[in-house]
Structure 1
Amino acid sequence: MKKLSTSLFVILFTFTLNAQEKTDKYAHHVETLNSTLETLYSVISGEKGEERDWDLFKYLFKPEAKLIPSGNNPEGIYVARYMTPSDYVSSSGSYLVENGFFEKEIHRTVNTFGNITQVFSTYESFHSETETEPFMRGINSIQLLNDGERWWIINIYWTQESPENPIPSEYLPID
């Protein structure tokens, strides 16, 4: 019995130590609102064939967080789809690596009350960092929580720009 409890202690200690190392490894990415948003954009971006750090991606999100793309379905009805960070990796991860994908923030508006923050983050998307014309633009509505220790992404709700739905000037950079 003593041998079993010693083995159990070693297993739990090792698991806790590994979790702590991951937390320490990624902690600087969520110290500030700016570092959290910069990490979000950088972790999904990369050239064709470049693997992403999906553990870091998932680390940004509070448990129960959602990613919510919205847009017209094939019937022309505007819909929203709800995904966990793991769902996003499963549905989009291989596409990002196989095709190359860079999402760059071009404008940001921030509203904060207490420990909650809402960010409208206008983005442009490219297949390579060398491209100068985006293949897509849109707005990410990002809700975040600062728990006093770090920033957590609660939700990202987004839509793409279209001819029928251009990005309003107040969400674009000033020329």
Structure 2
Amino acid sequence: MKHLFTVLLLLSLISVQAQKKSKDDTPKVYAIDSTKVITLDKTIKTLYDVISGEKGKKRNWGQFKFLFHKDAKLIPSGKGKEGYYRVRYMSPDDYVKSSGSWLVENGFFEKEINREVSIFGNIAHVFSTYEAFKSESDESPFMRGINSIQLLHDGRRWWIINIYWTQETEDNPIPEKYLLKS
């Protein structure tokens, strides 16, 4: 019995040491702020804020994922090499895996310049025109486009259901009505 007690004591000490080590070795985890999804405006602002940052700045991917419903999709569209428009479907995790490193390595700021909102009951559609910069100090965007964002209010908060977007091109300029209003 004495031997069993000694073994259990050693195992618990090893477990405590392992927990201490893992806490010390764990990278900083960002807090998730649930107040950022209470209103439609805060949800859209948080979407833009969380992916934006200077070169080398880590993003709060936990907060990013918290914006989206569990079955949400991010859907970029654009013209392929063969000249036809196509789409790609990604989960929030897929987006982080495919674009997360690039955003940090290059710097990226997406700024909303116009918003058109339609709401019916608990659903909303936001047509959000954006400009993208590599640094906050850049004077001219390297890209512009429109995000079509569908959202659901479940009675407690807003969830992003889908973001479907396309970039502006020479062949497909953004119509004046979706540009910055003075």
The CA deviation at 1:26 is 1.7
Which runs of 5 or more structure 2 residues have no equivalent in the other structure?
1-28
* 2:81 partner SS: coil
Equivalent in the alignment of 1:77: 84
- Residue 137 of structure 1 aligns to which amino acid in structure 2? R
Q: In the alignment, which of 43, 47, 61 is matched to residue 50 of structure 2?
A: 43
Distance 1:90 1:41 in 2: 18
Distance 1:88 1:71 in 2: 16
Distance 1:53 1:167 in 2: 30
Distance 2:32 2:141 in 1: 33
Whether 1:55 aligns to 2:23 is no
Whether 1:143 aligns to 2:150 is yes
Whether 1:109 aligns to 2:116 is yes
Whether 1:122 aligns to 2:136 is no
- Whether contact under 8 Å (2:32, 2:62) holds in the other structure is no
Q: After TM superposition, what 4+ stretches of structure 1 lie above 2 angstroms from structure 2? A: none
Whether 1:156 aligns to 2:158 is no
Kindly tell me: are residues 25 and 67 of structure 1, through their superposed partners in 2, closer, same or farther at Cα, counting changes over 3 Å?
Answer: closer
- Residue 117 of structure 1 aligns to which amino acid in structure 2? A
Q: Percent identity?
A: 65
Deviations 1:25-62 (A, max 9, x none): 42101010000000000000000000000000000000
Equivalent in the alignment of 1:33: 40
Rg larger in structure: 2
Deviations 1:89-113 (A, max 9, x none): 0000000000000000000000001
Which runs of 5 or more structure 1 residues have no equivalent in the other structure?
1-21
- Residue 150 of structure 1 aligns to which amino acid in structure 2? R
The CA deviation at 1:174 is 2.3
Q: In the alignment, which of 84, 89, 97 is matched to residue 96 of structure 2?
A: 89
Distance 1:49 1:74 in 2: 32
Distance 1:26 1:164 in 2: 40
- Residue 174 of structure 1 aligns to which amino acid in structure 2? K
- Residue 102 of structure 1 aligns to which amino acid in structure 2? F
Q: How many residues were matched structurally?
A: 153
Distance 2:33 2:69 in 1: 14
- Whether contact under 8 Å (2:72, 2:160) holds in the other structure is yes
